[in-house]
Amino acid sequence: MTPIDEQEGRQPAPEGDDRRGLSDEALMAGVRRGERLAFEALYSRYGSPVMRFLYRLSGDRVLAEDLTQDTFLKVWRAAPRWRPIGRVSTWLFQIAKRHWWNEGAKRRRRRGISLPDDDQSARTPTKDVGPEAHAARADLARAVREAVAALPRRLRLVFVLVRLEGLALAEAAQVAGIPVGTVKSRLAAAEKQLARRLGPRLG
């Protein structure tokens, strides 16, 4: 169910018109025309990546879920003004980033930053990893999340975009709204702080 369905108390559109094979641009063109099926397909494609991005930025799963809903409501409302310039994914991440930047600080001040250990790879032992190694891996994963969450917001944004989401420097610059050179300098500063904080754990 998409954020629009939840807001309006409606059931998802019936099956029969599967648009999941369309390009991002074709889906956004449909959303711009007010087509619910196109919006559902876009949400199906990008709901999880946007949620993951916001969780990595905020360290708070509940907040990330709220901001994901807000992001896609904004997408629906802003769609009539969308133009096919640049990648759709970049535009989505820009909207998500603005919601995190503007609303995340207020919510975190009320709630505090929580860092639930919900990384499936950290929680679930594998046959090849013993209990001690699994515990060490989970501890390291938790330490990394805490270290990323402790970064200043400007550095955290760039680190998450480039190192965790895998965006190219130019695309990260578009999302963050800063020059590529600033992305590089902030990324270097973030990695320096993380290395200093995590150095003893990483050997």
Predicted TM-score (pTM) of the model is: 0.76
Residue 51 contacts residue 62 (beta carbons within 8 Å): no
**Domain residue ranges in the chain:** 1-114, 151-198
Q: Which pLDDT score, from 0 to 100, does residue 18 have? A: 60
> Which residue pairs from 103-106 have beta carbons closer than 8 angstroms and sit at least 24 positions apart in sequence?
103/67, 103/70, 104/57, 104/58, 104/63, 104/67, 105/153
Q: Which pLDDT score, from 0 to 100, does residue 165 have? A: 93
Q: Which of 14, 31, 13 is nearest to 22 (CA)?
A: 31
Nearest-angstrom CA–CA distance, 162 and 158:
6
Q: Is 117 helix (H, G, I), strand (E, B) or coil?
A: coil
Q: Which pLDDT score, from 0 to 100, does residue 108 have? A: 46
Considering the segment(s) 1-114 as one domain, its CATH architecture is: Orthogonal Bundle (1.10)
Q: What is the mean pLDDT of each run of 10 residues along the chain (203 residues)?
A: 61 56 92 93 96 92 93 94 90 94 62 42 52 73 87 95 94 96 97 88 59
Q: Which pLDDT score, from 0 to 100, does residue 15 have? A: 54
Q: Which pLDDT score, from 0 to 100, does residue 139 have? A: 79
HSE (CB half, 13 Å, CA atoms) of 15? 0
Nearest-angstrom CA–CA distance, 24 and 42:
7
Q: Which pLDDT score, from 0 to 100, does residue 135 have? A: 74
Q: Which pLDDT score, from 0 to 100, does residue 21 have? A: 80
